[in-house]
Structure 1
Amino acid sequence: MHTMNTLNLELICILFATFLGAGIVKGVSGMGLPTVAMGVLGATMSPLTAAAILIIPSFVTNVWQMLAGRDTFRLLRRLWAMMLCIVIGTLLGARLLVIVDPILSGRALGLALIAYAITALFLPTLSIPKRLESWLSPLIGIVTGLLTGATGVFTLPAVPYVQALGLQKDELVQALGLSFTVSTVALAGGLFTQGAFRLDQLSLSLLAVFPALIGMWLGAIVRQKISPKTFRHCFLLFLVILGLELTLRPFS
């Protein structure tokens, strides 16, 4: 595993390739940048270090996605309780990412990736009545926050929940951008309060913005060329493979 003591060419190449690929996934599907980045980087460094590097490219790409439509403030009014609880849960969960052994947190990350991929592949899209949102949103927010803080991945159970709210396509993309932006800011706050942010990680995080944005641009082009369903299945199978690699890695 990289110790991050030196900014070497190998590490820069890993970062560029990782965030280029993660940006392409996000450009095609509107999500997946933190999931892919945490999965790939988690195989070469501790999940804590990977989460710190993820902060700035995740924030930039998600704010871009969140503001790319006219529904931002209406969605914020509807989902504010979930967003607040994501922040609370993430601040609590970030303590786990700092104190837990990197191998164990890597296994937790692997299980989170597998759980998300299997859920997305095999469970039908649910539909949640609006009357249930007042108590479900805070609950989903807390659980998502705890998992975000502990693993650096923002997807479960927020993504399936938001997908079940019956939003229009553009609203859904914006709602996911809103959720991911709040999760990113909360994760940054959690890592900062735990003293887990270092200057070299901040520079790497800034460096990762460039390939992430190139990837998003390429992903938007790819989206016009291939079936979204085919891409989605390939992406989810890739997450399963990544998750298995992280989960089954021997202790060392």
Structure 2
Amino acid sequence: MIDPILIFIAFALTLAGFVKGALGLGLPTVSVGLLAVAMPPGRALAIVIVPAVITNIWQTFVGPYLRDIARRLWPLMLGTAVGISLNASALSHASTHYGNIALGTLLVIYALLGLFKVAFSVAPRHEKWVGGIVGLVTGLISAATGVQVVPSVPYMQAIGLQKDELVQALGVFFTVATITLAFNLTSSGLLSTATALPGAVAMACAFVGMFVGQAARSKMPAETFRRVFLVAMVLLGLYLAGSAIVELSW
């Protein structure tokens, strides 16, 4: 009999892969958010980290902007790596309830920023120092929750990256962040042979979802899909944070 958890992992990663294929981001955000319903965020991230790294590496090299991205975003990426390393023990030691509250809150913040199209602007002369600070904050948050979209994605939008360049920049940034997280998960014992089978299922389903998402990208209204996705993230975030708060209050 197939383990129900493996079925749930397959569903979560197929959906997350679809979102990433359609939008260029969202695989760890969606998958960790969904899997955290049934397991601690640290274990969820350990299952999805390898698919996340591989899909991000693939996205990194799809486009001609790699050199310019590295030149502009190195402070953001360095700060993120430092922040993850400084908070390396958070996923393995934090309470599941508090981890879910943090994860749910971040999902809601990220989705609301997108729904209300909150726009920021960073002048070119301030990019490096602002990018470093944003990266450090992103790294500290990512180490505790596995989510790397806040405040990094609003920052990349704020410096004026265009559509295709932004998609490739997301791949470059998430590659650095997820590889750093993978090292920390390995050193903390969360990434081990016990996650090999769930990780293999996750990888296969993530690629299936990505290919479907890429095919659907040109056939669906992008704005409609974006809004449905963001509303779903709000609901998921509220569920994760709300259920954890209720359990803590008992």
Same fold (TM over 0.5): yes
Equivalent residue for 1:91, pick from 85, 99, 103: 85
Residue 191 of structure 1, CA deviation: 1.6
How far, CA to CA, are the matches of 2:88 and 2:239 in structure 1? 23
Letter in 2 for 1:106: N
Residue 137 of structure 1, CA deviation: 0.8
SS of 2:20 mapped into structure 1: helix
How far, CA to CA, are the matches of 2:76 and 2:196 in structure 1? 28
Equivalent in the alignment of 1:37: 31
Equivalent in the alignment of 2:147: 153
How far, CA to CA, are the matches of 1:201 and 1:69 in structure 2? 32
Structure-1-length-normalised TM-score: 0.94
Structure-2-length-normalised TM-score: 0.94
Moved runs in structure 1, 4+ residues, more than 6 A? none
Letter in 2 for 1:144: T
Residue 8 of structure 1, CA deviation: 4.7
> Any stretches of 5+ residues in structure 1 without a counterpart?
1-6
SS of 2:247 mapped into structure 1: coil
Equivalent in the alignment of 2:7: 13
Equivalent in the alignment of 1:114: 108
Equivalent in the alignment of 1:136: 130
> Any stretches of 5+ residues in structure 2 without a counterpart?
none
How far, CA to CA, are the matches of 1:189 and 1:88 in structure 2? 13
Residue 159 of structure 1, CA deviation: 0.4
How far, CA to CA, are the matches of 1:123 and 1:173 in structure 2? 18
Matched, 1:187 2:168: no
Residue 93 of structure 1, CA deviation: 2.3
Q: Deviations over 1:190-246 (max 9, x none)?
A: 222223222111332232111111111100121122111111110000001110111
Equivalent in the alignment of 2:214: 220
Q: Deviations over 1:16-39 (max 9, x none)?
A: 111110011011111111110011
Residue 123 of structure 1, CA deviation: 4.0
Quick check: 1:23–1:211 contact (8 Å CA) kept in 2? Answer: yes
Tell me the matched-pair count: 246
How far, CA to CA, are the matches of 1:217 and 1:207 in structure 2? 16
- Equivalent pairs: percent with the same residue? 40
